A and B are shown apart, each in its own frame.
Chain A
Amino acid sequence: DTVLTQSPALAVSPGERVSISCRASEGVNSYMHWYQQKPGQQPKLLIYKASNLASGVPARFSGSGSGTDFTLTIDPVEADDTATYFCQQSWNENTFGAGTKLELK
């Protein structure tokens, strides 16, 4: 299985820029996607295939990377961005990262 590793938590102030990383145990080409999940809600697609913004998602969100290292960037961070962010690869079946909990200071 392709294991995806994310940092467990981050805390930033509103208006700052934050980068959330996801490292794959093997190359996943560009088939890395990012989701936002708020408590009690279903996941919401933010970025697909590494750098493509999903429909209706604010341009404050962006994605980059290829191969094994990927990054989700939020700039600037807003209070509503408090959530857990998951990466997912679909190059080798489907696996998800454990999630990065983003808290605002």
Chain B
Amino acid sequence: EVQLVESGGGLVQPGRSLKLSCAASGFTFSNYYMAWVRQAPKKGLEWVATISTSGSRTYYPDSVKGRFTISRDNAKSSLYLQMNSLKSEDTATYYCARRTGSYVMDAWGQGASVTVSS
């Protein structure tokens, strides 16, 4: 069974940093692109980052480019999201997702809640 378990969420002040982790199991992690998607309270979904199988290529929307960094450790089957210079608008539940060759996210974690507030 594919499992994705996020951790590292919490309350953080504006301008500070936070790092999320996602532990993957039930599949060969190194064979898949991985992504982060967030959802602000009572809002829709927003793609945040994607990383290639080796980690050599990363992709971000303009809203987080330069502030967020996605990375992975294939030996540990783990995905990470380093979030710097956090803003109140970054408050959301952050989901880790597996991306298939059809460019679709076919498995999602249960999410990690991040609140940016003073």
Contacts and interface: CB of A to CB of B under 8 A. Distances in A.
Contacts of B110: 41-42
B95 A43 contact: yes
B21 interface: no
Size category, B interface: 20 to 34
B95 A42 contact: yes
A63 B104 CA distance: 15
A45 interface: yes
A42 B45 contact: no
B64 interface: no
Majority secondary structure of chain B interface residues (helix, strand, loop or mixed) = strand
Nearest to A84: B44
A98 B59 contact: no
Interface residues of A, number: 24
Nearest to A96: B45
Majority secondary structure of chain A interface residues (helix, strand, loop or mixed) = loop
Contacts of A93: 47, 59, 61
Interface in A81-105: 86, 88, 90-91, 93-99
B106 A48 contact: yes
Nearest to A1: B61
A54 interface: yes
B103 A31 contact: yes
A96 B104 contact: no
B106 A54 contact: yes
A58 to B, nearest CB: 17
Interface of A: 1, 31, 33, 35, 41-45, 48-49, 52, 54, 86, 88, 90-91, 93-99
17 contacts: A1-B61, A31-B103, A41-B110, A43-B37, A43-B45, A44-B108, A45-B105, A49-B102, A49-B104, A86-B44, A86-B45, A88-B45, A93-B61, A94-B35, A94-B61, A96-B44, A99-B44
